[in-house]
């Protein structure tokens, strides 16, 4: 690997990590709403967070660009905060990566939370634990494998994001050029060896992450079906 | 002391009950779907009623009129559910201490270790819930609720998914809990046997409405919850093995000795005895020359009758329920206060480890 390769991989990992770190809490809130609450608009929320899964990433990028771009009120706010809009910066790349990984994380979290018996949470409330403590002392410890698995899945998705990123963040070397967009550039310029090097890095990262993900998920499902004090 | 008046109106379901429960064990009983569990959930704070109020020792914990609603975690009612609902990721000790750790030091009136010992869980403290039997799980659930030093213990069919020996042993533990800790209990059940063995008063619920409140036996006969539900009543007694003869073992219960089938036990071993109310014969005169090994003198404390069925409470040192018919009560001339003899075979007594 060459030095330029390493800096591209590091930037990609940074963007994907930040995207995942921001998306995970949001996804947890959405998953808690979907799994635990019965409210008006539940269906709409479900469709809305799943939308990035069904849309072409280019469309997501375009919508994001429109939202964060110069002309919107958000754009004005960004100018006030950062001096310019976040379009075509690494923040936009992280935003794009976060949005496309959101539905995957929400889905994994919802499954993980559905596997936790709500009666355990009710019991914890009765024993004096407030909602926040119930979440951290009961819900999360029982769902943690699914939560880690979902976060990893979101992370690989963020890492492999291309379509939305290139529209909203561009392909600026050293600033917004991630592994997928660098591969695209190298293929376009006919530099096949260099493209392959990064492709192998992508494959290796994906295989390792998915391997851990599947292992965790299998253990999480094993736990759910085993008799854990409650007959199913 | 808890008093409440609760109404829930939802499509397809309504609840409208009022009650005032004092010390001791109060049973809420009635057929499945009557609203027993919903009532309990309202009391514990998991379900908010449409209207009404709940007052505990003079403090309002819910009032729709003055918009008071104390969250379940602030009520400090111990809850015991049908299937334990133990935290599967925590050990027995951690389960028991879960609520105890969350209450202020000044409110920790009971020591978890002491509770653990009373409920016979001392050796199981480091186990995980999945390694426990159904009866052990339920004992952990009870300990966990008591460790909270609750103002009230709410039990929702805690024995429904247990086998007979575990049921018998838990009933005995609950009695002990009641004697030791003096926590008022509300006990939801549809089992006549449990209600009669444990409760000092009972409330009958049917179709979401309170149908009566009073002494358990009065209500049970009037309601005949399970059709002729009395045949399933088991008298449960705690005893100590006093000695064994060739084919019999004698068990000492309070001041009396009861002969049971020969047990493989040592003198001094604690056991639980269970005799069905329908396994007992009652007679006003001392019988002679009988094959039955147990003839015990007692005094009739109360008689209830309804629809041809009758139930007599006889004090033989411990209280025993005897099932008979209205006709035999009349023919034998049995009245309250009378001295009678109870007769039953040694083989009618089921013996369990205490």
Considering only CB atoms, which residues of chain B are within 8 Å of chain A? 44-46, 71-79, 81, 83-89, 98-99, 102-103, 129-130, 132, 137, 144-145, 148, 161
The answer to whether B223 and B214 are in contact (CB under 8 A) is no
Within 119-138 of A, beta carbons closer than 8 Å to B belong to 119-120, 122-130, 133, 137-138
Model confidence over A112-131: pLDDT tens digits? 999 999 999 999 999 999 99
A36 touches chain B (CB under 8 A): no
CATH topology assigned to domain B234-353: OB fold (Dihydrolipoamide Acetyltransferase, E2P) (2.40.50)
Ordered by start, the domain boundaries in chain B are 2-227, 234-353
pLDDT value for A176? 92
Mean pLDDT of B218-239: 62
Chain A CB contacts of B144 under 8 Å are 127
- Helix extents (H) in A37-139: 42-54, 57-68, 73-82, 90-114, 118-126, 131-134
Model confidence over A150-162: pLDDT tens digits? 999 999 999 999 9
Residue A11 lies in a domain: yes
Q: Where does the pLDDT of residue B41 fall: very low under 50, low under 70, confident under 90, or very high at 90 and above?
A: very high
Does B234-353 match B2-227 at the fold level?
no
Residue A231 lies in a domain: no
* Interatomic CA distance for residues A126 and A129, integer angstroms: 7
Please state, in angstroms and as integers, the Cα–Cα distance from residue B208 to each residue in B4, B135, B229, following that order: 15, 30, 21
How many CA atoms, within 13 angstroms, populate the side-chain half-sphere of residue A71?
A: 4
**pLDDT of B226 above 50:** no
Residue A122: strand, helix, or coil: helix
The answer to whether B222 and B40 are in contact (CB under 8 A) is no
CA distance A151 to chain B (A): 21
For B2-227, CATH gives 3.40.50.300
Query: What is the spatial order of strands in the sheet that B234-244 belongs to?
Result: B256-261, B248-253, B234-244, B270-276, B349-353
pLDDT value for B308? 79
Q: Where does the pLDDT of residue B17 fall: very low under 50, low under 70, confident under 90, or very high at 90 and above?
A: very high
**pLDDT of A62 above 90:** yes
Please state, in angstroms and as integers, the Cα–Cα distance from residue A137 to each residue in A140, A144, B89, B304, B328, following that order: 7, 11, 10, 51, 60
CA nearest to B353, candidates B275, B250, B265: B265
Query: What is the spatial order of strands in the sheet that B59-63 belongs to?
Result: B68-69, B59-63, B51-56, B2-10, B13-21, B209-214, B201-206, B25-29, B185-189, B152-156, B77-80
- B85/A117 touch (CB, cutoff 8 Å), yes or no: yes
**pLDDT of B18 above 90:** yes
Q: How many CB atoms lie within 10 A of CB A152?
A: 22
Supply the angle between the helices A73-82 and A57-68 in degrees, to the nearest 10.
Answer: 70
A83 touches chain B (CB under 8 A): no
Residue A167 lies in a domain: yes
Mean pLDDT of B304-310: 78
Mean pLDDT of B225-234: 51
Radius of gyration in angstroms for the set of CA atoms belonging to chain B, rounded to a whole number: 22
Residue A86 lies in a domain: yes
- A142/B88 touch (CB, cutoff 8 Å), yes or no: yes
- A229/B84 touch (CB, cutoff 8 Å), yes or no: yes
- A119, A126, A226 ranked by CB distance to B77: nearest: A126
Please state, in angstroms and as integers, the Cα–Cα distance from residue B159 to each residue in A70, A87, A190, B139, B194, following that order: 67, 63, 74, 11, 8
Q: Which residues touch A199 (CB under 8 Å, ≥6 apart)?
A: A183
pLDDT value for B4? 94
**pLDDT of B32 above 60:** yes
Structure-model confidence comparison of residues A19 and B191, the more confident one: A19
Q: Where does the pLDDT of residue B326 fall: very low under 50, low under 70, confident under 90, or very high at 90 and above?
A: confident
* Interatomic CA distance for residues B186 and B8, integer angstroms: 20
Question: CATH no. for residue A106?
Answer: 1.10.3720.10
Please state, in angstroms and as integers, the Cα–Cα distance from residue B60 to each residue in B2, B4, B69, following that order: 10, 10, 9
Model confidence over A70-108: pLDDT tens digits? 667 777 777 778 777 788 899 999 999 999 999 999 999
**pLDDT of B30 above 90:** no
pLDDT value for B79? 93
pLDDT value for A203? 95
Per the prediction, chain B carries an average pLDDT of 87
Count up the domains in chain A and report the number: 1
pLDDT value for B221? 60
- What residue numbers bound the domain in which A7 lies? 3-225
Question: How is residue A136 annotated by DSSP?
Answer: I
């Amino acid at each position: 690997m060459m030095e330029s390769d390493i800096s591209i991989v590091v930037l990609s990992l940074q963007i994907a990590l930040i995207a995942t770190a921001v998306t995970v809490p949001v996804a947890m809130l959405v998953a808690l709403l979907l799994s635990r609450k019965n409210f008006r608009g539940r269906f709409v929320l479900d469709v809305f967070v799943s939308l990035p899964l069904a849309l072409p990433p280019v469309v997501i990028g375009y919508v994001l660009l429109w939202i964060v771009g110069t002309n919107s009120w958000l754009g004005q706010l960004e100018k006030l905060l950062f001096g310019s809009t976040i379009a075509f910066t690494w923040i936009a790349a992280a935003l794009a990566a976060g949005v496309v990984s959101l539905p995957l994380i929400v889905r994994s979290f919802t499954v993980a939370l559905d596997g936790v018996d709500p009666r355990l949470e009710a019991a914890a409330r009765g024993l004096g634990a407030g909602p926040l403590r119930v979440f951290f002392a009961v819900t999360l410890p029982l769902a943690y494998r699914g939560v880690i698995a979902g976060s990893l899945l979101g992370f690989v998705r963020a890492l492999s994001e291309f379509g939305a990123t290139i529209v909203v963040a561009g392909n600026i070397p050293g600033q917004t050029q991630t592994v997928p967009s660098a591969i695209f550039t190298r293929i376009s310029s006919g530099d096949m060896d260099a493209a392959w090097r990064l492709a192998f890095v992508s494959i290796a990262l994906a295989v390792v992450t998915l391997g851990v993900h599947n292992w965790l998920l299998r253990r999480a499902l094993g736990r759910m079906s085993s008799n854990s004090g409650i007959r199913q | 002391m808890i008093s409440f008046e609760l109404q829930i109106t939802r499509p397809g379901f309504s609840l409208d009950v009022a009650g005032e429960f004092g010390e001791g064990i109060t049973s809420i009983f009635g057929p499945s779907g009557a609203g027993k569990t919903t009532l309990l959930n309202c009391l514990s704070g998991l379900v908010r009623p449409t209207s009404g109020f709940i007052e505990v020792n003079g403090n309002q914990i819910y009032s729709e009129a003055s918009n008071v609603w104390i969250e379940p975690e602030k009520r400090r009612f111990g809850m015991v559910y049908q299937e334990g609902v133990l935290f599967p990721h925590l050990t027995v000790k951690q389960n028991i201490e879960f609520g105890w750790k969350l209450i202020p030091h000044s409110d920790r009136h009971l020591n978890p270790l002491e509770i653990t010992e009373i409920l016979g869980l001392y050796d199981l403290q480091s186990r995980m819930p999945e390694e426990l039997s159904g009866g052990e799980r339920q004992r952990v659930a009870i300990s966990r609720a008591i460790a909270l030093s609750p103002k009230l213990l709410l039990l929702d069919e805690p024995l429904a998914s247990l086998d007979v020996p575990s049921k018998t042993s838990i009933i005995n533990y609950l009695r002990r809990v009641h004697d030791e800790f003096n926590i008022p209990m509300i006990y939801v059940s549809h089992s006549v046997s449990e209600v009669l063995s444990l409760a000092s008063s009972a409330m009958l619920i049917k179709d979401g409405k309170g149908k009566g409140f009073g002494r358990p036996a009065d209500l049970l006969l009037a309601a005949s919850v399970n059709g002729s539900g009395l045949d399933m009543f088991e008298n449960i007694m705690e005893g100590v093995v006093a000695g064994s003869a060739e084919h019999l073992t004698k068990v000492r219960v309070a001041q009396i000795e009861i002969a049971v089938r020969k047990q493989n036990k040592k003198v001094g071993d604690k056991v639980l005895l269970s005799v069905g109310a329908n396994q007992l014969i009652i007679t006003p005169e001392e019988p002679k020359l009988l094959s039955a090994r147990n003839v015990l003198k007692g005094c009739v404390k109360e008689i209830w009758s309804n629809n041809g069925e009758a139930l007599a409470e006889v004090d033989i040192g411990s209280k025993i329920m005897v099932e008979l018919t209205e006709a035999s009560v009349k023919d034998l001339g049995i009245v309250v206060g009378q001295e009678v003899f109870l007769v039953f075979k040694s083989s009618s007594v089921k013996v369990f480890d205490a």
